[in-house]
Structure 1
Amino acid sequence: MTDAELMDILQQYKEGRISSEQALQELHKSSFEDVGFAEIDHSRERRQGFPEVIFAEGKTKEQLLFIMKSLQENSQGSIMATRASREMFDFVHEDIAEARYDEMARIIYIERPVRRDPHHTILILTAGTSDIPVAEEARLTAYLWGNAVKTHYDCGVAGIHRLFAHKKDIDEANVIIVIAGMEGALASVVGGLTDKPVIAVPTSVGYGAAFHGVTALLAMLSSCAAGISVVNIDNGFGAGVLASKINHLR
C-alpha cells in the first residue's frame, strides 16, 4: 500500500465514510496479510522501495500462486518469485496471464513500468559460462528493481585479456557484480582495477576441491583488493538487490 492509499484511508475515517474498525482492518492489511501458511509483507514496498520477493523453492504451486496474486493486488512495483521451476510457472500462468518466466534465472515475474537512469549502470561480469545462471538471476533482479544493467560473460582469469577488453565498461559502471566459481580469483582482479564498489558472488561451479563454492567464498572474503563485499554462494538475487541499493544512492 502506498502513502497515498494510506492517506485515503485516514481521510475516509476522518470524514466518517468508514468506521474505526474498518480503518483498523485496512491498516492491518497494509502491514501484512496472515494466510496461515505465510504472512505476506505488504508494507515492505513502503519500507524498502520494492514488494516482498518470493523464494519459490520449497513452496507448493498453490502457495506460490496465492502469494503472487496477493502481492499483485496490493503492490505497485514488479513482482518476483526466485528459484522457480517451469512447472511452477505453467501453473501460475494459467491464472496470471501477465506473468513471465526467465528459465536461465529461474525467476517468475510480473514487470511493471519503472524509469531507469542510463548514466548509472550496474555491470555484471562472470568468470565462466557455467556461472551465467547466477548472473542472470542478478541481472533480472537488478533490472526489475529499476536499474540499467550491462553484462559480459566468460571473461575470467584463465584468459585475462578477455576481461581487459571490457575496461571501458568497468570504468563507466557505477556498481560491479563479479560472479565466479573455481578459485574465485576474478573478484580480486576486478577489485584492483576500479574505484567502484564490487559485489562478489561465489558460485558452486568447480571440481572437488572447490567444495561447491566454499573455496571461492573464502577466497573472495580473503581478497586483498579493497572495496569488495561478498554475498552467499550462488546468491545472484542478493547481489542484484545490494547493487540496486548502491546504484540508487545519489
Structure 2
Amino acid sequence: MTTADGSHRAQGWTAAVRQRLGLGRLLPLGGPADGAWISERAAVGVLRRAVGGPGPVVLELRIAAADADAAPAPQVPPPPSALPAGPLRIEATVAATAHQPLPAAAAALRSALLTAAARRLGLTVDEVDVRVAELLDAEPERAEPPPVEVRPAEPEGAAGRAAAGVTGVAALTRVLGAPVHTGADHVRVELATDGSHRALDVALAVRAAVTDAVDGHPPVAVLVTAVTAEPEPRIPVPPAG
C-alpha cells in the first residue's frame, strides 16, 4: 500500500467517525416493543423547526435519557451505543426578552416542545428543562434552519427494497454502515423520513414491511438518521402573559 493510499484510507475513516459522532445520541422512538431509534441530530432539527416562531430563541437543545437505570430492556437489538428504550429529557438553553415574564415564557416553550416531540416524532418525553442563558433587549431576527441534507443509499435486497417502498421514507442512508445490516438474530435498517410523516409511524411501517419481505421474518430495528423539512405549520408557542 502506498503512502497516498494510506492517507486516503485514514481520511475516509476520519470522515466516517466525524459523521457518526455528528448524529449525537441514538434516542428510542416509542416504547421498548417498537424497535425504533432516531439520531439526536435529526430529532433536534425537527424540534427547532417546530418551535422556531415568536418566543424565546433556542440556543441549544439536548436530549438524554430521563432515567437510564429504570429503562426496560429493548425487545429488538438496538443500534450500537443507542440509549435504552425509556422516557427522555429535553434540555433547552434559550435567550429571551425581558418583555415577557420568564416563567411564563419558559412554560410555553416547554409545552410546545412536548407537543412537537410527541406529534412529529413519537418521542416519549417526561421532562423538559428550560434554562434562560441570555436576556435580549428586543426580539431578534430569526433565520430559517438550513435544509436537511440526505445522501441517499441505493436500496438493495428484499429488505432494502421493502423499506424504500414505505410511505414516508425519504431515502435509505448509510451513516453507521450499510443501509441494511443483517445480524445473526435481527435486521437493522437505516433511513431518513419525510418530515410530513411522524417518524415513529414510518419506522413501524418499515418494520412490518421488512419483516414480511425477509425469509424467516426476523426482528427488525429501524434507525432514523435524518428527517427532511416538513411543510406543516409550526407548533404554536402560546404567548406568555
Task: Decide which structure has greater strand share.
Answer: 2
Q: Same fold (TM over 0.5)?
A: no
Q: Which has the higher contact order (CA 8 A, sep 6+)?
A: 2
Query: Larger radius of gyration, structure 1 or 2?
Result: 1
TM-score with structure 2 length normalisation? 0.25
More helix by share: 1
> What TM-score, normalized by structure 1, do the two folds share?
0.24
